[in-house]
Structure 1
Amino acid sequence: MKRLELLIDTLNETEHLSGEKFNTNSKAISTFITLYGEELYKEKIESKNFFIYNPFYYPSFCIGREIKRYKTKLSEINNLLNKVKQVPIRNYLRLNLIEHCLNICEQDLAKNIILDLPDESKYSAHRLLLKKYALKGNLNDFKETLKLSKSNKSPRNDIFDSKKVFIENYSLKNGILKSLEICNLKIFGEKFYTNSLIPHCKKLSIRKIDEIIEKYPIIKKNEKNIKAIAYVEHFNKNKRSSIGKLLFEKTLNELKKVDKNLKFGDGRLKDFLLCSLGSSITNIDQINQCKKMIISPFYKKELNYYIKNIS
């Protein structure tokens, strides 16, 4: 606990200093040497990456990292954070502590710490709790926490990702049919139908994947490329030396149907799927067939790097 107290004192004492003044501040220097040693201090300031106008370390970051060392005395740490003068930094560190509590299964304590946050910051903590409930696939807890997570506030992708993870875990626990029914709830929607199938692809054969899509055509209602996505997911989770010729051709035929202009993150969905398929096998001929269909230089380089590593 003394390490945390020292870092908090340093944070409060140096909070208004510029990077240049921080780097010559005796308190900042002595704290770093006490915690991490003189050798590391010299290494830091003598590094070619050292820039005099930037602090050579950030006490707030060190506090966040220090919190993760503790498995007990977490309530005491929460009380200790009251000493942090800057409210935004104090709230940020409390979120760090809440996340740590959730990671080590101290859920009740995490909920208690949320009460110490100002109202305008509580939703960020509830989003951390939402991620935890998403992994468990517990519908009632997820719905209640979602209400407190302010879905309309940015970043909205936090909420979307948690919903996606929830549907996948709910499907694994309760089956595809029940998961599809849950997708019809107002808080989810048709765009999550695909996620009812995806987590099962590892254990399903390609033939079985086809049968399920045929049995539940609603899965492809919002995702016409579901077969391409599901096939690649299957092979990506079951890496092998090569794929049988007919099966490989079947998969490539589905990938050919994917619109080359369809976006996925910062790139193209088709390129991403081809790269994922290529990196799930070690057959150079099959990898090169995938690479030949890719447009993006980035994904071509990824497969070239992969080939180099397996050769």
Structure 2
Amino acid sequence: MIVDLPDTTTSKVSKEIMTMRDKGGVVALGRVLTLVVITRSGHEEEAILAANEASREHPCRIIVLAEGTDSAQTRLDAQIRVGGDAGASEVIVLRGYGELAGESESLVSALLLPDAPIVAWWPHGVPEAAAQTSIGSIAHRRITDSANEPDPTAALFNIRRTYQAGDTDLAWTRLTNWRIQLAAVLEQLDGSPITAVTVEGASDSPSTVLLAAWLTLALDTPVSIEAGEPGTGLHRVVLSRAAGDVELNRPRRSVAELHQPDQPVQRISLPRRSLQDCLAEELRRLDPDDVFGEVITDGLARTNLRSVRTSEH
């Protein structure tokens, strides 16, 4: 069910939700959080689709602040989606114009679930300081996506400069399976020390930079980055040792190959993660991600980005 409320107020939106609940049995029971999505015009449906899919695992109220026009006459247009149009959630789309065009806590405060955590998500447009924005200041978790920025690496360094506990970025979440596999490999290695590490990934992949930063912290070893073709994600990691190199290589989009000295090649399922999978993972935890905090602040600072070079592979 979809209900449009043009030129309305948040009070009227709240009352309409109550009316729909009374008439159709739509309830907020079981909702575990409020997800506030701050998105740009033209990207609303992509974000709503991902949030709906993630909400099947984490039932929530989704409030979407869609970019309006500040030069237009001040008004608020709203849309309420419930049932099959909202996955396991209620979706409220707000589009402000004029004085209501910008991100504002006042637009969402009357619609937040009482006594429930708040998660803020910027699918496009990393804010200058997420924790200091109007919505970010009331959120328990703040999710950005540096991969959608014109300069993803610069966006990472901006996050580092303004980082507060509770901040995270989906470029980090996309690395979860890579980090699991690499941690397993490192546990199985013999005593031969790792003398150098090479991380290869797309030139526009912030996940490549974050993986290098994580390995820099974990191994205290020089890490170089090889920049490959844009848009292709993370490709491989090589651990250089006197006893023989260990290489985790993903030549295809879903299957990786693990090469180790004197062992047969192992094929490992390592697909590129979908947006909804990454969002669902971040909604599983409402406490700060301390590992990400260390990587984005300390690890990124120690990563030698001057070592980035064009890959020959």
Larger RCO: 1 or 2 (CA < 8 Å, sep 6+): 2
Q: TM-score range by the shorter chain?
A: 0.3 to 0.5
- Please state which structure has a larger fraction of its residues in helix: 1
* TM score, norm. by length of structure 1: 0.35
TM-score (ref. length: structure 2): 0.35
Of structures 1 and 2, the larger Rg is shown by: 1
